[in-house]
């Protein structure tokens, strides 16, 4: 089985390395990357995703955070060899509502002008007990992208709305939820469930960057989901 991995806000794909290392040899993983010095809207990023997906062998999409609206939109076209969709800390519309959404869009250009502080990385992304190596990896990935590109991606997230595409997805879906997620609330899952009630849900005890903080647990869940998807079985909802 082939996994096509779609990255978070940094868009580099570099942060998937530990997750990929936990996969067995029977899984081939391809980490997609987006331009670091050029902003592309979701509509144009879909072309990059499409080019990365095989046309003659079965595969699954695994998308985290920023890439989840993109993955939903692409999966809704029901590509011939797509066998399943995994959304990690995902959303079908802006995870930020009301005034916070307006303020986030307004101050987006300022947010990424300074290097990501360790405290902020731990509070919002990797958890207070994250090892220094993970914090540095996240900081390096984010700093490799032009600040204005990151700001534009944040605005794209705040303006996203692919709720109408969720119900068109014909393959099994797994929602991998981070119990300590400070960026994507449980309401984002509820919105997806309204259009896709049969989405499988697995909740792991971890922060927003779940694939990076708990790569082994996440890999085990994805492998189990892939097995059920290929056998046309339903993955039981679970927490851990």
State the greatest distance between any 2 C-alpha atoms of the chain, in Å, as a whole number: 48
Distance CA 235, CA 131 (A): 32
> How many alpha carbons fall within 13 Å on the CB side of residue 179?
10
pTM reported for the whole predicted model:
0.92
CB 212 within 8 A of CB 18: yes
For position 114, what pLDDT does the model report?
Answer: 81
Count of other CB atoms within 10 angstroms of residue 193: 14
Q: Report the pLDDT value the prediction gives residue 1, as an integer from 0 to 100.
A: 85
**Domain range for residue 214?**
2-239
Three-state SS at 101: helix
**Phi, then psi, of 88 in degrees rounded to 5:** -110, 120
- Which pLDDT tens digits describe the chain residue by residue (240 residues)? 899 999 999 999 999 999 999 999 989 999 999 999 999 999 999 999 999 999 999 999 999 999 999 999 999 999 999 999 999 999 999 998 764 555 556 556 667 778 889 999 999 999 999 999 999 999 999 999 999 999 999 999 999 999 999 999 999 999 999 999 999 999 999 999 999 999 999 999 999 999 999 999 999 999 999 988 777 656 656 555
Q: In the chain, how many domains are there?
A: 1
CA 195 to chain centre: 19
Q: For residue 96, what pLDDT is reported?
A: 80
Which CATH number does the domain housing residue 37 bear? 3.40.50.1820
């Amino acid at each position: 089985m082939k996994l096509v991995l779609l990255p978070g806000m940094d868009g580099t794909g570099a942060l998937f390395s530990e997750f990929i290392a936990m996969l067995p040899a029977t899984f081939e993983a391809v980490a997609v990357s987006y331009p670091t010095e050029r902003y592309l809207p979701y509509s144009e990023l879909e072309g990059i995703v499409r080019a990365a997906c095989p046309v003659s062998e079965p595969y699954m999409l695994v998308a985290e955070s920023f890439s989840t609206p993109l993955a939903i939109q692409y999966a809704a076209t029901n590509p011939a060899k797509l066998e399943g969709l995994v959304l990690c800390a995902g959303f079908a519309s802006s995870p930020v509502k009301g005034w916070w959404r307006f303020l986030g869009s307004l101050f987006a250009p300022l947010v990424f002008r300074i290097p990501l502080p360790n405290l902020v990385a731990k509070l919002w992304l990797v958890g207070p007990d994250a090892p220094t190596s993970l914090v540095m990896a996240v900081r390096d990935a984010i700093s490799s992208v032009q600040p204005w590109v990151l700001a534009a991606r944040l605005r794209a997230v705040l303006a996203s709305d692919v709720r109408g595409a969720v119900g068109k997805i014909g393959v099994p879906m797994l929602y991998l939820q981070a119990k300590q997620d400070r960026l994507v609330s449980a309401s984002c899952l509820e919105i997806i469930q309204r259009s896709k009630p049969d989405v499988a849900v697995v909740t792991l005890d971890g922060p927003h960057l779940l694939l990076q903080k708990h790569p082994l647990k996440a890999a085990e869940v994805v492998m189990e989901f892939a097995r059920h998807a290929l056998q046309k079985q339903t993955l039981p909802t679970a927490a851990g």
